[in-house]
Structure 1
Amino acid sequence: MVNATNLTNQSNCFGKNAQIDGQFFYKQRHLAKANNELLLRCKSNIIQHKTEFITYAQRRCEANFRQIQ
C-alpha cells in the first residue's frame, strides 16, 4: 500500500543517496587531481635526480680519466 508517508520517506532516501553520491564523486575528483599532482612532482624529481646523477657520473669519469693520463 502506498501512502504519503512512504513516498516522503522514499523521496528523502533518494535525496540522501544523491547527496552522498555527489560528495563521493567530488572527493574522487579531488583525490584524482591530488594524485596527478603528486605523480607530476614525482616524475619531475626523478628527472632532476637522473640529471644530477648523470652530471656526477660525468664529473667522476672526467676526474678518473685525468688521473689515468
Structure 2
Amino acid sequence: MTTLHSPSRAWSGEPLVQDAVAEYAKLAASYSIAASNLADAGDTPGMVHALGCAGRALLAAQEAVASLRSVEGGGR
C-alpha cells in the first residue's frame, strides 16, 4: 500500500524552485571567488566580468525566491 502525500508541496513546484535558488546561489559564490582571485592577480576586466556574472546569478536567485513566495501566498 502506498501513502498519499500532501499535494501542496508536490504540486506547487516548490522543491524545484528551492533547487534553482540553491544552484543560483552556488553559481554566484563561484563567480565571487573567481572575482576575488582575478582581483588578486590584477585582472580588473576579468574581475568586473566575474562580478557582473555573480550579480546576474543573485538576481536570478531573487526572482526564483519571489516566485516561491507568490506560490506560498506572500511572506517576508
TM-score of the pair, normalised by structure 2: 0.42
**Pair member with larger Rg:** 1
Higher helix residue share: 1
